[in-house]
Amino acid sequence: MTENNKEQIRNNLSEIQQKIDQAAAKSGRRSSEISLMAVTKKKSAEVIRCLID
C-alpha cells in the first residue's frame, strides 16, 4: 500500500468522524458514545490496520 493510499484512507476516516461528531451534536449525544466499526469483504487486513494506526 502506498503512502498516498494511506493518506486518502486517513482523510476519509477524518471526514467520517466529522460527520459522526455533527450527527451526535444534532441529536444531543456525545460522539464518544458512538462506535465506528470497520467491516469489509474486499479490502485487505493491511488497509484496516492503516485505520487503527
- What pLDDT digit, counting tens, does each position of 22-51 carry? 999 999 999 999 999 888 888 888 888 877
Residue 1 banded pLDDT, cuts 50, 70, 90: confident
* Predicted local distance difference test score (pLDDT) of residue 18: 97
Q: pLDDT confidence of 19, banded at 50, 70, 90?
A: very high
**Exposure string (b/e) for 12-46, b if CB count within 10 Å is 16 or more?**
eeeeeeeeeeeeeeeeeeeeeeeeeeeeeeeeeee
